[in-house]
Each structure stands twice: as structure tokens, then as C-alpha cells.
Structure 1
Amino acid sequence: MSDIRESFIPFRRTDIIDLCLQDGKLQGKDVQLFQDFCDLLAAFFHFRFHYTLEEIKDNYTVFNPNSDVQTLQNPSLEQYEEMENNVLQGFKYILERANYIQLPDEIIQKSLQEKSLINLQTDVDFDDFDQLYCYYRGDIDKIITLKKFKVFEQEKIIDILERVVLLIKFKGSGYFQAKAKKNKKYQDLNFTPGKMYLYFYKNIPKLDLDLLFPNIKTSMTWKDKLLFGVPAIGAAVPLVVRAIPNILLIIVAILLLLKADSVVDSIEVDQRKVRDIMPILVATLSLTMTLGGFAVKQYTKYKSKEIKFQKEVSDTLFFKNLANNSSVFQALVDIAEEEECKEIILVYYHLLTSQEKLTPENLDHIIEQWMMEKLGIHIDFDIHGPLNNLEKIRGKIVYEDNNEEQIKEVPLLSYDQQGNINILSLEQSKMILDYVWDNAFQYNGC
């Protein structure tokens, strides 16, 4: 399990709002004003992330292996590269907003060398990829029970990643055509060159991450090969010993045809049997059936083992899959939207109810302590993200100055000269969000 404290808040936005209200620090009309503020905030970020999603989807179309629509005109090389960059930037943006963490490359490489649940020898050719990004959330230890020899049970602690997001862009068809000339197995690919694949999984053992790659090659481990090979050799030896007389008959018959009498005389075989065609045919048929039957039996065992391995991989991916390709963006945007709102609500609430001025560092500590007391979770709260979001939300409010109404454009959040944070009142904040929402579209020229 990683020692890194994560920023993800594992509770619903509505639960966070309820916890704030249950604190009892907001009374009377402020309760309804706070709920209205949260509703407007959620609507605003839903609109903002919807725009982000639409932009990603529009650029992803040419990379989507499952796309059922066509473009009127193929993009130029410059446009293609720009669209790819837009998809990657959008992908990173929503994952960071969703409080996911990028997985180090060495963890993926380690999964190829070590095993946790599925005991397979695996190989992934990373040269096949133009782009590779892997993000995760939730690094936990889990105790599982395994059966040994189908009778005994054994407990094992494995490192689990609760959520894993994988983006892979394969190299173009020219690369794989060149590969196919060297190795025929690359002629039948289970993916489309040049396309971008996205996968979203749950509860993946950290050491089984290699199973998520579509170009994975699996084989038996050295231990399985021994368990498979040693019995096969043991069974083959007595068969070969019993077949030696028949083998000698066939050899002598061939030598007689080649008129190698001197060599035949040195072999202790009844030459009358050799000159009689029936024993030779029987010997040949017997040897063929014996060795052929054994070979078929061993090959069937190998294929059964291989099918069992593939089933384990398929079961792992099928039952833990949450989304693929374009649907991954939709799922991640929903998570990012929730996380942004939860963080802003927590920041705004604690600034609103604090009896003293707070710096970002003080506020960060207060929120983390509050989460521990209320929910029993220890998180690394991302204080700068929500502060920046609140500071960027600007709108016009009406206030009185010398008994005259004035209209002024202000941000929801600002700082004084000492670095303390200032937040607008609930009524003013609601007015700002209402203004922003009303002016989201300016199609009427106003």
C-alpha cells in the first residue's frame, strides 16, 4: 500500500452539504441560502465540465476505435496532431480534477515481473505505443483467501488499486506491417493501429496491471512448465521403450530397401519379420498411433491449461471493467465535477463560518481535521484548487454607497495584504453565481 495521502473525498456532494448543515453554525435563512449557493455552484460546474467533455469528444472521434460516425474531411497532419494533443490535455485535466494520481512507470514494469492473483508469464511490448498514461485512485491492502490444491485455504495480503484509468495510443499501421514481416503473429491484431484506447477498471491488484494491456502475450510460468513437462517426459519414456522393437523393424526395412545389408546384419532383428510386409505395416501403424496419441494428449493438456489462463484473464477484466473508450471520458467528467464542487463547498463553508481570518495553510489544516472528526478519513486536501476556482468566479453585485445603489464586479474570493482570505456573504455569493449563470450565453448581443 502506498504511503501517499490522497485528495479524493469518498463521499457524495449531497452528504458533504448535509454535514455542513448538521454542524449547526448556519441558522435561519442562511441554511436555505447555503443550499441555494450549492445548487447554483453545481449547475455552474456541470455546465463548465459539459463544455470540456464536448471538446474532448469532438477531438477524440478520429482516434475512437468504436466510432460509428465519419468525418466529412480527414484532418491534415497538423490538425491530427493538434486533435491528439487536445484529447491528451483534456484527459489529464479531468483526471487531475477528479483527484486521480499518475502511476509511475516502474510500477507497471514491476507487474510484468511479479504476480499476485493470476499466475501467468506475461510480456507487453511498450514499443507498440505512441502514448501511454495510467492513473489510479485508492491504494489499499486487502486480505483475500486462496485455495491451495483445492482443499487448503490460505490468506494473502495483496495491494489493490481501487480505480485504474489507462490510455493507450497505438502506433500506425506501417509500424505493425513492418513487424508482421518479421513475425507472423502480428498479422492478426486484436486492436486497430493508430487508434486511442481507454479503459476504466476497479479493484485491480497492483502486480496484475500488465493484464490490462490489449497487446499482452501470456504463457505459462517456469513452474507450470515443469509441472506440465516433467509428467509428460515421464509418460513418454515407457512408450518409447515399448516402441523400440517396432522402430528397429522400420529402420531395418528402410535399410533393406537401400541395400545396406552389412548394417542390417549388425542389428539383432528377425529379418524374416522384416521381409514380411504385414509386421512392418503393423509396427508402423502401432508406432504412429502410440506416439501420435500421446502427442495429441499432451497438446490437449497444454491447450486446456492455456484456455484456463485466458479465462482467468477474461474474468478479471470483464467483472472489473467500468467503461471503455469514449464512455471513460463521460465517467471521469462526472467524478471531476463532483470533486470540484465538494472541495469548493468545504472551502466556502469553513471560510463563511470561521470566527477569525484564515490563510490558505490554516484553512487546509482546519478542513483536514474536520474531515477526520466528521468522517474518520485522513485526506490530503487540495486547498489551492478550490481557492483558485472561487477567485476566478466573478460577477456583478448591487450595493449601497452613500445611500446610492452601485453595481460593482467582484470575485467570490479575495486576499488582503496579509495573505488572509476574504469571502463574500451568502447573499452576495448567491448574487454572483446567479449573475454568472444568467450570462453564460451572450447570444442576444447584450
Structure 2
Amino acid sequence: MGTEHFLPFRKNAVISLCAGELPEEERESFAEFARMLAALAHYRFQARGDAVLDAYHLVDPAEDVRTVGTVTAKDRAVARETVEAELVALAEAAEFTRIDAAEIARAFAEDSLVKVRLAVEEEGIDTVMFFRRGVSQRTEEVKSLYGLRRRRIEFTNYAKVLVYIAFTDDAPSRPPGTSSVLLKLFQNVPRNDLEMLYPNVRVRMRTRDKLLIGVPAVISGIVVIATKLIASLGVLALLLAFWIGLRDESVHLDKTALVTLVAGLAAFGGYLWRQFSKFKNRKIKLMKSLSEHLYFRNLDNDAGVFHHLLGAAEEAEVNETLLAYHFLDTAENPLTAAELDERIESWFRRRWDTAFDFEIRDGLDKLRELDLLTENEHGRLGVVRLPEAKRRLDRRWDNLFRHNR
């Protein structure tokens, strides 16, 4: 698992870190430049968000929002394509990483932290996409042997996991009362627990759970047969032999034999019911653990996930652009893209104990789009000075709306 692109600092923190490297008289000017840059990014992402939320409303209409006009099946199909394409693009812009099928399969094969083994009803599921962000190693204390033993285990944890699942129209696994798509965002998900994020998962009894129920059941069954049912078995055997013709003499059932037979059968029936109840109660307990596990990890649902992604993608873009500008502006000489990339990454490793893979291409592309990047004849990069950079951003902001012109 390689280094993530995700930088675990908020936009305002990045502004403060960069401004702290400047002379005191330049810090306020840099902060103003950052606010102008963030305002332009916010305007662009707001328009992008309106478009994707309009498409998502056709795919998964909100109950409290009316839809204008008649929406056809073709309209929904086109809208779903737009939603899925924009979901992938926004997830990547927000520095999420796609989780491949092999990693999900491993989660099913390995035991989860809540000790639940699950099976997924895949029939009717058309599209599945999982994304993760914020990988870390954690340790947790787990109990075993009915709490008598405690041990610490180390596991890989994901700060956020994004789940998108699309169902076919006739999907039997589609949860009742839901739309044709499921969009959820979870937080603090152990890698081995990814399978819990599927809808309509079924709890499977682990070998240990089966032994916990089965071994005592066999022992107590032998005791019941030996103490309660053995006296009735002889009578039942004679009756059966008479009924199938292996015995000519009929069996005489007096009151004592009849009471013994009924008591034995009742005891055995009660034993079977108790074992069935134990099995059901064990599954209910496991489902309760699963529900509690998901309840405290659910972060957002449906259209709210897009609001979250839009905000995260906007912050990531501003951070990348600010860092690229700041380190080019403070460099003594023009830099190559590779030198700039290494300078930013090493600064975070050395000063803030943070390792990440900086998206140098995205930062430079944004500076070039804003007309803030310069390049000499040797391909080395620089930026326009801060006062001129602010003038260019201000002119771009003024030209967003040209009504009076």
C-alpha cells in the first residue's frame, strides 16, 4: 500500500503554515491571496455541485423535494452515468483512493474486529465502488475467553470509506424503501471490516460460535437421552416393531408407561427448543454488534455524501495550489516540477512529521490556469510576485459576472 495523496491538514492550517515561513510584513498579504484563491475555487465547485446534485435527484429523488416535469427511464439512466462519473472524479479530487476487489475479498476472508463473519447477497447488485482515505496503523485491546484474556492487536484503519452500490431494477437484495443506488460515507473503518459496509449482509456463524453452541448441546443431549428419554425408547421401539410387523404381540401401555413416554418426549422437545433458541439468540447478539458498529461509524448518506466530497475536493485543490505557489515564490531560483515536488514533501516530513505524495501536476495545472505560473527557456518554473498575483485573481473574480459590460 503506497503513500497517499491525502494531506491531513485543513486549508486554514496550510495557510498558517505557509505564512509562518514569510517575513511578518508579508503574511497578511499572503493570507489575502489565499482567501481570493479559495473564493474562486468555491465558486467553481458550487457550480459543479449544482450539476451533480441535480443529476443525483433524478436517480434518488428526495421525498421532500418536488421534481419538475416527467422523468423517463432514459433520463434516469443518463443521470446515473453522470452521477457515477462525477463521483469517481470528486473522490479522486478529494484525495480518496479506489479500493480494489482483492482488498475487499481479503476482508471477507479475515476475521473482523467485532468477531462477526458475514456473507453478502450479491444477486441484483449491478455496480460496486469503494474508496478510502486516511490510512493509519492502530492497536486495540480485544477480549477473549469470556473476557478472562485480553490481548492487543494491530490493524490497518481507514479514516473515511466511501461506498457506492447500484442495484438492478429487480434486485432481491435491494433494501426495502430504498432507491436504485446506495451512497454512504463511513469513518474509522478497520480494513478487515469492509464487508460490513455492504447492504443486506447475512451473519454467518464462525467455527468458534458453532463450537460454543454445538459442544454443550451434544453433551446436554446425551444427558437428556440417558436420563429422560432412555425409559421411553424401549416402549417406542416395541411400538414401532409392532406397527411395521416385526412383532406379533401388541404393546400394552399402562398409565405409568404412558406418563414415562410423554415425559421423555416433552423433555427431548424442550431440549431441542432450548438449543434452537440459543442459536437464534447468538445470531441476534452478533447482528446487534454489527448494527452498533455501523451506527457509530456512519458519517453521511445519499446527497449529503456529495456535499462532503465537494468540500473536501475544494480544500484539496486550494491546498495544492497554495503550496505550489508558496514554494515556487520562496525558492531562490526557478525549480523543475520534480524539485518542487520533493521540496514540499520533504518540508512536511521534516517539519510536521507527515508523509504524503504531493499532487504536483494538479497544483501546477491550477497555477497555469490562473495565469500565475512562469516558465523559462530551460523548463524551470516560477510564479508572478504576490502583488501581481493578487491583481490577476481580482481581475478574474471581477470577470465572473459581466452584466454591466
- TM-score (structure 2 length as normaliser): 0.92
Answer yes or no: is 1:143 the counterpart of 2:139. Answer: yes
Describe how 1:120-159 pairs up with structure 2 within 5 A.
120-149=116-145, 150-159=147-156
Q: Which residue of 2 aligns with 1:406?
A: none
Whole-angstrom distance in 2 between the partners of 1:82 and 1:224: 47
Query: Counterpart of 1:249?
Result: 235
Instruction: Provide the residue aligned with 1:354 in structure 2.
Output: 331
The letter for the 2-side match of 1:377 is T
What residue number does 1:100 align with?
96
Say whether 1:41 aligns with 2:18: no
> Which residue number corresponds to residue 223 of structure 2?
238
Q: What secondary structure does 1:263 align onto?
A: coil
Equivalent residues in 2 for 1:172-187, closer than 5 Å: 172-173=169-170, 175-176=171-172
Q: Is the 8 A contact 2:126 2:166 kept in 1?
A: yes
CA distance in 2, matches of 1:193, 1:169: 11
RMSD between aligned alpha carbons? 2.3
Question: Which residue among 247, 256, 262 is the counterpart of 1:263?
Answer: 247
- CA offset at residue 334 of structure 1? 1.3
What's 1:407 paired with? none
Deviation track 1:101-128 (CA, whole Å, cap 9, x = no partner) reads 1111100011111113122232124443
Q: Deviations over 1:293-349 (max 9, x none)?
A: 112211221122111111111111111111111111111211111111111111111
Which residue is 2:15 aligned to?
Answer: 17
The structure-2 alpha-carbon separation of the partners of 1:191 and 1:136, relative to structure 1 and needing over 3 Å to count, comes to farther
Q: What letter is aligned with 1:263?
A: R
Aligned position for 1:165: 162
SS at match of 2:296: helix
Corresponding residue for residue 64 of structure 2: 68
User: Are 1:116 and 2:105 matched, yes or no?
Assistant: no
For 1:415, the equivalent position in structure 2 comes to 375
Give a deviation string over 1:130-189, Cα, whole Å, max 9, x none.
22111111222211111222122111111212211111111112x43xxxxxxxxx6xx5
Structure 1 residues 311-350: aligned runs within 5 Å? 311-350=288-327
Q: Is the 8 A contact 1:163 1:201 kept in 2?
A: yes
Looking at structure 2, the residues matched to 218 and 293 of structure 1 have their Cα atoms a distance apart, in angstroms, of 26
The one-letter amino acid paired with 1:349 is H
- Code of the residue aligned with 1:116 in structure 2: it is S
Q: Post-superposition shift, 1:235? A: 1.0
Q: Judging changes above 3 Å, is the alpha-carbon distance between structure 1 residues 155 and 66 closer, same or farther for their aligned structure 2 residues?
A: farther
Which of 372, 385, 392 is 1:425 aligned to?
385
1:304-315 → structure 2 map (5 Å cutoff):
304-315=281-292
Decide which moves more: 124-133 or 245-254.
245-254
Q: What runs of 5+ residues in structure 1 fail to find an aligned partner?
A: 177-185, 394-410
Q: 2:364 is matched by which residue type in structure 1?
A: L
In structure 2, the CA distance between the partners of 1:73 and 1:289, relative to structure 1 (3 Å rule), is farther
Describe the shift of the 1:73–1:255 C-alpha distance in structure 2 as closer, same or farther (beyond 3 A).
farther
1:2-57: CA deviation from partner (whole Å, max 9, x where unpaired): 3x111211112112111222213x453x3322111101111111111111221111
Counterpart CA distance in 2 for 1:66 and 1:281 is: 66
Which among 187, 191, 195 is matched to residue 206 of structure 1? 191
Secondary structure of the 2:332 match is coil
* Alpha-carbon distance in 1 for matches of 2:109, 2:61: 30
SS of residue in 1 equivalent to 2:229: helix
> Aligned residue for 1:289?
266
Match of residue 86 from structure 1: 82
C-alpha distance in structure 2 between counterparts of 1:372 and 1:280, whole Å: 85
Unaligned runs of 5+ in 2: none
- Structure 1 residue 229 corresponds to structure 2 residue 214: yes
- Give the 3-state SS of the residue equivalent to 2:152 in structure 1: strand
Q: Percent identity?
A: 27
- State whether residues 138 and 161 of structure 1, in contact with CA within 8 Å, keep that contact through their aligned partners in structure 2: yes
Instruction: Work out whether residues 125 and 215 of structure 1, in 8 Å CA contact, stay in contact via their aligned partners in 2.
Output: yes
Equivalent pairs counted in the alignment come to 403
User: Which AA in structure 2 matches 1:219?
Assistant: R
1:123/1:74 CA distance change after superposition, 3 Å: farther
**Cα deviation 1:241-278 (Å, max 9, x = unaligned):** 3313324435545776x595x6154x9xxx44x1x3x4
Q: Partner of 2:276: helix, strand, or coil?
A: helix
2:280 aligned to 282, 303, 311, which one? 303
Inter-partner Cα distance in structure 1 for 2:248 and 2:307: 80
Contact 2:96 2:133 in 1 (8 A): yes
Q: TM-score, normalised by structure 1?
A: 0.84
Larger Rg: 1
CA distance in 2, matches of 1:163, 1:264: 76
Aligned partners of 2:193 and 2:338: how far apart in 1? 39
Amino acid of the residue matched to residue 421 of structure 1? L
Name the CA distance, whole Å, in 2 between partners of 1:259 and 1:319: 62
C-alpha distance in 2 between matches for 1:118 and 1:128: 27
Other structure's SS at 2:400 match: coil
The 1:52–1:281 alpha-carbon spacing in structure 2 relative to 1, beyond 3 Å, is: farther
Question: Partner residue of 2:346?
Answer: 369
Question: In structure 1, the residue corresponding to 2:28 is in which secondary structure?
Answer: helix
CA distance in 1, matches of 2:353, 2:284: 45
Q: CA deviation at 1:374?
A: 2.2
Question: Do the aligned residues in 2 keep the contact of 1:13 with 1:341 (CA within 8 Å)?
Answer: yes
